[in-house]
Structures are given as structure tokens and as C-alpha cells.
Chains A and B, each alone.
Chain A
Amino acid sequence: MLKSWKLKEIILMSVFAAVFGVVYLLFVHIGNIWAGFIGPIAYEWIFGIWFIVSILCAYIIRKPGAALLSETMAAAVEVMLGNAIGPRLILSGIVQGLGAEAVFAATGYKRYQAWVLMLAGAGSAVFSFGYGYLLSGYAALDPSFVALMFILRVLSGALIAGLGGKYLADGLLLSGSLRGYAISHNKKGDAHV
């Protein structure tokens, strides 16, 4: 998977993962406090935040594995920083990354329009919900409540991760710092120089 990657792309991914690892942890704490009052549904509408880095990296680097690896790395950084969710975060990072990766793979890593990014965010949401269903025991909850959680999470994934990730990456592109990455080649029209 890494054969076609340049070292600067891998490092870019890991530095982004470090930045978002911190952001992710921040929101875990915010979510936790909320969850004490309104239960596990507190996480759902902000869940998209936890998928942003995979959308961002896939959109910028445009290589197979960008979504999966960046999300996994962000989770690893969260573990390295130390927190009470612990090493299983890496597992949920892999699951979330796979969700986005599946969508990008389905397009053959060729399409990066807004709707693809939104679908990728939704893909992460679907995968992570399946994982959460098993691990947090949502089976013990009322199905209609679970359905509401699911819909909120998918919407959050599509809007916050999909559109939010695109919004950030487009801003970065305008700043000119992404010269030398696939995103700027494709914008100019000459594919993969």
C-alpha cells in the first residue's frame, strides 16, 4: 500500500493526524460531559468531527489508503497522548477509516467532488455505528432510539466530515501550501505529474 507514497506525503498525513488527534480528544471530553446528561446520543450529532482527518488526507493526497491510514494514525496519536478510552481507539480509528476508504475505493480513487466526500463521511459513520453497536451494547436500547442515533450520526458524518473537510482543504489549497500534492495537480488539470 505504501509503495507509491512519497515520504513527504506520509509525514504530512501523520502531522495532520497529530493535529486532529488533539482536536479529537478535546471533543471526546466535551462529548463525555454531555453524555452524562443526555446519554450516548450526545456524541451522535458531533460524530462527524472524528472523521475529518480521513476526508482531508484522502482529498489532498488522493492515494489508496490515505483515509484509512490517517484516521488510524490520529487514533494512535490519541493513544500516545494518553486517555481513558485507550488502545481500542485504534480499532475504532481503523473501522472509521475503512468506512471512508470503501467509498473512495468504489470511485476508483478518481472522484473527489463534494458528493463523494459527503458519501465518504457517511461511510465512516455507518461503519463506526456498526462497531459501536457491538461494543457499547446498543442492542439493549429501544430500536427507534437506535435508529435516531444512526440517522444523526450519518448526517453528522456527511456534513461535518464531508463538507467540513472539503471546506478546510480548499482553504489550504488557496493558501498555496499544497503545491506538490495531488490536489493541486488535479485542480490545474494535469493529472499526476
Chain B
Amino acid sequence: MRITWYHRKERLIVQRILHDMNPAVKLAAVTGSVLVLALFFNPWTPLFFFIGTLMIQACFSRISWKRYVFFMLPFVITAAGYLWTTVVFAAETEGPVIWSWAGFDVTAEQWSRALSLAFRVLAFSSVSLLFAFTTDPVKFALSLMQQLKLSPKLAYSMLVGYQFLPLLREEFTHIRQAQRLRGAGTETGLLHRVRNIRRVLLPMLSGAVRKAERTAFAMEARGFTGEPRTVFFEPVPLTRIDAAMGMLFAALLLLSSICGVALA
């Protein structure tokens, strides 16, 4: 499979790297970065990491940036929320005041804390979107089983649940239509709304129970035992590119930590 890559143009190969990367390695890189970033309270480390992640995304993947911005926007709003709550409800209120607004005195310490939490939200979201935009869900589940040794019973049933989603959406529409036809679900008021949630959720869940049973029987009838295995129908390989990308993330993390601490 890797041989065919070299027949294509160089640009194309580079822009597929994140998409072809092993999902388990990507998962480890992304989760590891988030956990390390949580240790820093200076504004620079998450900011540098955020910029670096955007650069990696731009260099090594081909995505729709319009969609990217659309997904990012709610988290920019959240970051703004963190910014002002941290300023208003800060734990530290000592130190020199750098500016005042509407009766609130903001100290340098408070401001840098607030900025760091807000940038942290942005850094977390960018690295998460990197994962979400470049990872195929089925390949992700298979990789969990093959690289991270998740039990096949769990991995395959996870895939079953995932494959049911479009079906469940269809069923949701049917239930709503059927109920509206009978004049149900038109009441207003908070209590009725809560009861309406149950009215839709219950038939959906009982349908799900029946589907789950049928699927389990079908899987067992076809010889699925759920035993751990070493040979797979669809192998998800580990390559040198995965190692290189892992090191790239580690380097970015290290660099932004060092620069962040030095600047703060």
C-alpha cells in the first residue's frame, strides 16, 4: 500500500499523512498532549501549542476549513466564557492592578491565569479537531482492538452501536411522526416537555433492545465468540510515519512548554 503512495505527487502524500496515521498512535499523541498541557498555568504554552497544532493540520491533512471554523466557533465562545469567569471569580486577588473595568480590579496574575485557561480551551479544541477531522471511525475501532488490545467483544459491539446510528435516527423520525399523527407531543410547559422526552426515548430504547438481541443472535450464529485474536480481516498497520508523527507532537509539546515557561 505504501508503494503506491510514491507514484503520486509529493504534495498529495504529505497531505494524507494525518489521515493515514494509525488511529491508536494519534489517540495517544492527542490525549498525552492534553494531559501535559493541563499542568501549565502560563498563557504562552497553550497558545504556542495551539498555533503549532494549526500548522500541523495545515501541512499534513486535507480538510474543509469552512467546516473546521464552524466546529471551532462554539469553543471560541467557551474560551471567552472561561476568560471572564476566571477574571471575576479568581482565586488570587493580590498583586498590582493592571486595569479596572466596571468595578473589577484585574491584577497581572489574574489576567495571565485567565488568558491561560482560555488558550487552554483553544489548544484542547484544536488538537481534538485534528483527531476528529482526520480519523475514520471504523478504522479507529479496529485500531483500538489491534494496537490497544481492546477485547474484540467490546470493539465489535462498539461498531454495531455505531452502525445503528443512522437507523436510530430514522426510527426517531417515525416515532415522532406517529405520535404527532395521534395528537401527542403538542403540550407545552416544562413538565410536559420532560415527559415528552421520555415518550420519545422509551420507544427508541425498547426498539434498540430488540435490535441488540437480534444482532447478538446473528453474530453468534455466524460463529462470533469474542475470543482475543492475532489475525485480522482488516489489519491497521503501524508504520514509520506513525513514529515520526508521534515525535513531532512530542517536540511541539516540549518546545511550547519550554518557551512558555521561559516567557512567563
**Hey, which bits of chain A sit against chain B, CB under 8 A?**
2, 5-8, 10-19, 21-22, 29, 32-33, 35-42, 69, 73, 76-77, 79-88, 90-91, 134-137, 139-143, 145, 167-168, 171-172, 175, 177-178, 180
Render B24-66 as a binary contact track against A, CB cut-off 8 A, 1 for contact.
0001001100110010010000000000000000000000000
Q: How extensive is the interface on chain B, given as a class? A: 35 or more
Which residues of B sit under 8 angstroms from A81, Cβ to Cβ?
A: 137, 165
Q: Is the CB of B202 within 8 A of A8?
A: no
Which residues of A sit under 8 angstroms from B92, Cβ to Cβ?
A: 140
Render B196-218 as a binary contact track against A, CB cut-off 8 A, 1 for contact.
00100110111011111101110
Q: Is the CB of A142 within 8 A of B91?
A: yes
Q: Given A11-B157, A82-B132, does the pair A143, B31 have CB atoms closer than 8 Å?
A: no
Nearest CB of chain B from residue A86's CB, rounded to whole Å: 2
Which residues of A sit under 8 angstroms from B38, Cβ to Cβ?
A: 134-135, 137
Within 8 A of A (CB), among B210-231: 210-213, 215-217, 219-220, 224, 226
Within 8 A of A (CB), among B126-149: 127-129, 131-133, 135, 137, 140-141, 144
Render B117-130 as a binary contact track against A, CB cut-off 8 A, 1 for contact.
10010001101110
B193 at the interface (CB under 8 A from A): no
Main secondary structure of the interface of A (DSSP, over half): helix
Q: A-B contact count, CB below 8 Å?
A: 207
Q: Is the CB of A29 within 8 A of B74?
A: yes
Looking at B86, B133, B157, which has the most chain A CB atoms within 10 Å of its CB? Answer: B157
Nearest CB of chain A from residue B193's CB, rounded to whole Å: 14
Which residues of B sit under 8 angstroms from A76, Cβ to Cβ?
A: 141, 144, 158
Q: Is the CB of A12 within 8 A of B198?
A: no
Q: Is the CB of B154 within 8 A of A10?
A: yes
Q: Is the CB of A73 within 8 A of B168?
A: no
Contact of A7 among B27, B82, B125, B224 (CB under 8 A): B224
Nearest CB of chain A from residue B89's CB, rounded to whole Å: 4
Could you tell me the distance between the alpha carbons of A2 and B209 in the complex, rounded to whole angstroms?
19
